[in-house]
Structure 1
Amino acid sequence: MQIESEKELKWNILKRLQRLPYDQIGLIRRSVMQKTSCTQSKYYRVIQEKDNDVHVLIALAEVLNCKVDDIINPDYEFKDPQLTKNILEKIE
């Protein structure tokens, strides 16, 4: 039952993010890259494994063990600044 609600939650996040204007998703992407010290080339390599930025954000949230809302929030600070390696290993 919990798995189903988790899937539902992800679907709702996905739908909400897909309604965002493209430039807003770009801002979120840059924010994520800054917060995680992830270079653009590494980020785009990760994106190629996913359908689009929205799926990448959801994957990042899972890896970072936070909510997508936290990633979207420009004031949110990740607890561990050395996350790039973990992110790339888990998403790739």
Structure 2
Amino acid sequence: MRQSSVALSFPNPSRSYDPARHCVCFWGYDNAREISFLVDDAMLKKLTPGIGPGEPALLAAFDHNRDRILGLAKNLYTGGSQNRYTIS
């Protein structure tokens, strides 16, 4: 059963690039529970065609598309015991 995404919030604007996983990581919260989200490089390039390579460009693409990415995260979030989601 899918929980309402209303409980998920993103009060912490921090994000980081993980070169080993080729993704930008950010965190949401369902009450006191921290939920990790990963946006892979391919998705960031799809959201921002023509971005340059490397960490600064991928973080800038994330920042430019933050609202859209947070919306995707809310749609993907199902609650329950899972605490990591990948947006790809």
Larger helix proportion of the pair? 1
Q: Tell me, yes or no, whether TM beats 0.5.
A: no
TM-score by length of 1: 0.30
Q: Which has the higher strand share?
A: 2
